[in-house]
Every structure is written in structure tokens, then in C-alpha cells.
Amino acid sequence: MASDGEEGTVSLNEVLQENSAREAEARAVLGGSDSQNCTYPKGALSRQAVFSCATCIAIRMPGVKFAGMCLACSLVCHEGHEIFELYTKRDFRCDCGNSRFDDFRCRLYPDKEPENSGNVYNHNFAGNYCTCDRPYPDAENQDSSIVDEAMLQCIVCEDWFHERHLSRPMPVEYEEMVCDACMKRCSFLHYYSKSAATASRNSTTTTADNGESDVATGQTSQSTACTSASLAAPSSSDTTNTEDANSEEAGGAKPKTSASADSSFESLERMCDLESRKAKCGDAVDAAVAEKASYFDEGWRVELCSCAKCLVLYEELNVTFLTDLNDTTAAYEELGLANSPSGHSTTSLEVQGMEALNGLPRVQQVEMSTEYNTMRSELTAFLRPFAEAGKVVSDEDIRRFFDQLKDRKRRPPGDGMPPGGCGMP
């Protein structure tokens, strides 16, 4: 690592590690996208990498419409422009060349409708993020302790947030996050979060210590919840019947009739899992707790209640996508890795370059290989002393190497003298 007095310098190992990490991230985010064809004809994709162009639209001006584009349009139609990389967005359709771009025409698929009514825009399209509404990275931020601070994406609004601007700190392990504003609107999600799971485990431990059973307290297990589309919750008489049945069986009395047993089982089927989770969390959970930013463990979406009442709730809050396991960024990134060159995630830029080289004519292959090997050998020789001494490589060192390389390429062989010893005697 660079010392406190050394700015803009990194060790060779750090360069290699960062390059590998960036390659993996790029394959994950872009591997599922088409880099050659506009995605507009495919409609609104469930998830794709989206970009915004600051050059084409003065998006920092009040009243100007936001717009987004697919990967291919960002590379072809907006080559050389100032582009904001927005990571991925759900249910988005490419805007390139539509009415939001005035007279600008898409070069890949110009026949577009004036508007994509299903697209959702936020301040990310202006290059700003979080509740602080600042760009990332923030060039005006001089605080070195937070300049490289990681940002977390809310899975509901898909905005990005600094951890310090969320009401709860990031846990060591989690899969997805919902921001404060979205938790306030969708407070039911609290009961599926890590904090609620902890509260539920604590409640279960207390119940076990008191010798109480879940059935005795009117709570159902997740395995029996939400298997019916009925909206009704168990009545007090249903609970009483269940308690009576347990008492009779424990005392050796005659078991309940078949009809009574069926009625008790049906009452458990009708129990909404969300209501069951609320009961397990107890009365201690209030709005101030449920409406804080929350984190969720891997696979939590599988546990979302699917009873008719909850499905209506999801529709009303416009969060039905939460029930789609393919909506997660993890699922999208897995697809990207699967679609990466050579069909695996370990293909490096060097390997991809060699694959492209094999498609060139033989003469060009030789020329390209010679140039590549020359540069690699010289760069390796240049960097070896730094690696052996454990020194850092500065920006100036890299610039000096490439300046020397360019100078040698411009200089004629023999410092201007004809080859073969044909100079002046």
C-alpha cells in the first residue's frame, strides 16, 4: 500500500488484483447485455445495464427530461460522450434517439416510439446518488476517509446510498438492502429482514424457556402458512379447538372428531405468514423500527408470503417484482458470468485478446503478436525492479515508460543510420 505521503501510487500486486476484480465485475454486469445491438426491439427487459449521456442532454438543467440507453447505444451512438454508468435497472427500455434526445437519431435502431412510458427515472440519470444528491465519485469531496466509500443499492427504488446516510449500519453479511424511504413505504418488509429474524429467534428462545408452544400461543410455523388463497385469519374459536385437542391427547382422552381436526387444519392453512411473523416479533416493533433501512439474507425472497391478501398488497405498493427470483442482481450477474467469453468467468482480457487475434489474417497475427510481446517484455522488465524492491509504481512512472516506448517506435533503426553498415566511412 502507498504510504501517507505518497499520493496516486499503488504496488504492482494491487494493480494486478484491482484489474482482476474489475474484469470480474465487468463480466458480471455487462455479460448479460448485448454490446452490438440495441435492445429496444426486445421491449422492456427485466434487467439490463443502463447508461445516461450528459453530452446529449443537459440533464443538470431544471426541467430537462432524463433518458437512458442500452450498452450497445452507449458504445456506438454515444462514442466519445460523457456517459454515466447506472449499473442495472429493471423493466427498462432503451431511449436512445427518441423524443427525449430532440434531434439526435439512434444509429442502431432509429425506429423508436417517442416515449417509453414504462421507464422509471431518478436523479441517477443526472449522475447523482443517495439522499445527499451527490455524484460518485465526488470530485469536490476532500475527505480522504470517505472519498472511496462503497455505495449500496436499494432493491426497491434502485438508487444508491452511502452507508453513513442510512439509518442502519451495513452488516458483515447480507444479500440485499432496502433504503429508509422504501422501508417507510413498504414497512411489511421489516418482518423478513435480518433484524426481524434476530428478534424472532430471541422471542423463540424466550418462549422455549417458559415452556410454551407455538400452537398454544396461536402462532403457526412457516411450513403451514400461506398455503391457501383465503384472506381470513384464524378465529379465536379455531385456536380454542386446537388447544382442546392438544389437551385431550395429552391426557389420554378421546381424540377430536375428524370434522374438528379438519377445521383446525384449515385454520392453520388460512394463516398469513406475514401475520405470523408479526406475532412472533411481538408488540415491541413500532413504525420507528420497521421503517428503518433494512438488510436481507440470501434467499429471503423465497420466504415472502404468497397468500391472496399479500399479493394484493404487493400490487398496491408496486413491488410484485420481489416475488421474482430472477429479478435479483445476483441472478443477473450469474447470467452475465455464464455468458462471458469462452463460457466461463475466468477469461481474462489477455485470453480474450488472444482469441480475437486468432481471427486475423496470418500476416496481421504475426505483426500484432510481435508488437504485443515486445511491449509485454519491456513492461515486465520495467516493473520487475519495483516488484523485487516492494516499491510502488506512480502515475509518473507509467507515463515515463510509455513515453520511452513511443520514442523508440518513432526513432529509425540505428539512430537514423541506414541498416547494414551503409553509412559514411
Each of the 425 residues of the chain gets a pLDDT tens digit; together they read: 444 444 445 454 555 555 555 666 665 566 567 888 999 999 999 989 999 998 887 655 555 689 999 999 999 999 888 899 898 899 999 999 999 887 889 999 999 999 999 999 999 998 999 999 998 878 787 666 666 677 899 999 999 999 999 999 999 999 999 999 999 999 999 999 987 766 555 555 554 454 443 333 333 333 333 333 333 333 434 444 444 444 444 444 444 444 544 544 444 445 799 998 888 876 556 766 778 999 999 999 999 999 999 999 999 999 999 999 989 888 887 877 776 554 444 445 555 555 666 666 766 666 666 676 677 778 888 888 877 666 667 777 787 887 777 666 555 444 444 444 444 44
* Residue 215, SS3 per DSSP: coil
CB atoms within 10 A of CB 354: 12
Rounded Cα gap, residues 284 and 281, in angstroms: 7
Whether residue 382 contacts residue 401, with contact meaning beta carbons closer than 8 Å, is answered with yes
Whether residue 53 contacts residue 98, with contact meaning beta carbons closer than 8 Å, is answered with no
Rounded Cα gap, residues 126 and 133, in angstroms: 10
Rounded Cα gap, residues 21 and 15, in angstroms: 10
Q: How many residues does the chain have?
A: 425
Among residues 116, 185, 176, 125, which one has the least CA distance to residue 152?
176
User: What are the beta bridge partners of residue 72?
Assistant: none
Among residues 319, 306, 313, 314, which one has the least CA distance to residue 271?
306
What's the grid cell of residue 101?
434526445
Predicted TM-score of the model (pTM): 0.62
- From the number of C-beta atoms within 10 Å of its C-beta (0-12, 13-18, 19+), residue 100 rates as buried
Q: How do 176-178 and 160-162 pair as beta strands?
A: unpaired
C-alpha distance from residue 158 to each of 125, 147, 319, 335, 363 (Å): 12, 22, 12, 19, 49
Among residues 406, 408, 388, which one has the least CA distance to residue 398?
406
Residue owning grid cell 475466468: 346
What's the grid cell of residue 353?
485478446
* Residue 153, SS3 per DSSP: strand
